[in-house]
Amino acid sequence: MKKNNWVLYLFENQEHRDLLKIMQFKTIKDVAFVLNVSPSIISNWFHGLINPRGILKNCVLHQSVVI
């Protein structure tokens, strides 16, 4: 069975040069809880439907598939 994980890269600045922390989550709700943002905003940002705002300007989110 495949399992999806979300990997969040948090940077110190908006240029994404200085990596501050790497975090791994099981759901978008977990990511939203840590960043104090609505899960729908996280999902829309990940899918490119909205521009990054607030803390999301300092983040990169990837979905990884563990086989």
pLDDT of residue 21: 95
pLDDT score for 4? 82
Q: What is the pLDDT of residues 10-57, one digit of tens each?
A: 999 999 899 999 999 999 999 999 999 999 999 999 999 999 999 999
Which residue ranges make up each domain of the chain? 3-66
pLDDT number for residue 1 = 53
**From residue 31, how far is each of 2, 6, 44 by CA, in Å?**
20, 8, 13
pTM value is 0.86
- How high is the pLDDT of residue 65? 76
Q: Give the pLDDT confidence score for residue 66 in this predicted structure.
A: 67
